[in-house]
């Protein structure tokens, strides 16, 4: 039975390639990568030639049996994501779970991770931290996600798109998040840039509302503020007697508690 190698690759700076990664890629029989073009670029940089196959969100389930068959033939395989450590907000978890259940040998080749790099640059308390993936684009999941950030006492790392960064900061501000935030742009690359401040302060740093490059956010944790003990449902029904719009009611209750306007509105919109 062959071995599957989970290979962490540079997140921007090719000088971060480790000797162990290079040796692993030289010795495997083939490579599965999220973006074959990026894999080939890395192999060309290292002057390595290997068969490269696609493994991305959308075909990962169909590739499991194929990979299992190659491993059963004694082939050694490397698994790569676009950048950084595979499985971290990237496909691969389903494959690893399947291989673990069959006692296939798996090795993880450690290396760059934007999550760890961003945390070490933050200056926040790292005695307890968490990574929660990408900020949802819209809907209830987005409201719950941002509300969770607002109320977390743990330092939190998450990803977002540069196209949605301003919208995310505006949502943070709307939900009264006043925590310190570190925005990391293009980590380890030539134009790496760090921005620090509260959501309100950060919005002022992007007056033209444009930003490019890969974005990692680190949000400072803090102790939860006790909520004002009020019966939301009773307050809502009392205010509705005066024909006050539910959105305005949500804003009023939000101003008396640490609950965001959107979170309250989601609770009362069907009253």
* Positions of CATH 3.30.950.10 in the chain: 115-219
Which CATH number does 3-112 carry?
Answer: 3.40.1010.10
Q: What is the pLDDT of residues 215-248, one digit of tens each?
A: 999 999 976 555 556 677 788 888 888 888 888 8
The CA-based angle 91-94-98, given to 5 degrees, is 140
Contact 195, 222 (CB under 8 A): no
Query: What would the pLDDT profile of 122-147 be if each residue is shown by its tens digit?
Result: 999 999 999 999 999 998 899 999 98
pLDDT tens figures, 174-212: 988 999 999 999 999 999 999 999 999 999 999 877 889
Q: What percent of the chain has pLDDT over 90?
A: 72
The three-class DSSP label of residue 156 is strand
Both structure tokens of 38: 């990026």
CA angle 213–218–220, rounded 5-degree value = 155
Residue 72: what pLDDT? 97
pLDDT tens, 64-113? 999 999 999 999 999 999 999 999 988 899 999 999 999 999 999 999 99
CATH 3.40.1010.10 segments of the chain:
3-112
Is the domain spanning 115-219 CATH 3.30.950.10? The answer is yes
Q: What is the pTM of this model?
A: 0.78
Of 175, 195, 95, 96, nearest to 135 by C-alpha is 175
Q: How many CB atoms lie within 10 A of CB 22?
A: 16
């Amino acid at each position: 039975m062959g071995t599957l190698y989970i290979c962490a690759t540079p997140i921007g700076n090719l000088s971060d390639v480790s000797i162990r990664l290079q040796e692993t890629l030289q010795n495997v029989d083939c490579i599965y990568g999220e973006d074959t073009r990026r894999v080939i670029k890395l192999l060309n940089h290292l002057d390595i030639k290997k068969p490269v196959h696609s493994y991305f969100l959308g075909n990962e389930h169909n590739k499991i049996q194929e990979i299992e068959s190659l491993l059963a033939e004694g082939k050694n395989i490397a698994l790569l994501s676009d950048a950084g450590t595979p499985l971290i907000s990237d496909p691969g978890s389903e494959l690893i779970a399947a291989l673990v259940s069959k006692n296939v040998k798996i090795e993880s080749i450690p290396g760059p991770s934007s999550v760890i790099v961003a945390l070490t640059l933050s200056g926040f308390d790292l005695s307890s931290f968490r990574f929660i993936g990408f900020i949802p684009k819209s809907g209830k999941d987005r409201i719950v996600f941002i509300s969770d950030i607002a109320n977390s006492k743990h330092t939190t790392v998450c990803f977002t798109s540069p196209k949605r960064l301003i919208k995310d900061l505006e949502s943070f501000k709307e939900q009264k998040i006043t925590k310190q935030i570190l925005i990391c742009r293009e980590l380890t690359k030539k134009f790496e840039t760090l921005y620090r401040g509260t959501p309100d302060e950060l919005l002022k740093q992007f007056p033209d509302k444009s930003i490019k490059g890969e974005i990692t956010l680190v949000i400072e944790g803090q102790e939860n503020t006790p909520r004002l003990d009020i019966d939301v449902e009773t307050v809502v029904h009392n205010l509705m007697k005066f024909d006050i719009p539910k959105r305005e009611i949500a804003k009023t209750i939000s101003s008396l508690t640490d609950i965001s306007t959107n979170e309250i509105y989601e609770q009362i919109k069907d009253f």
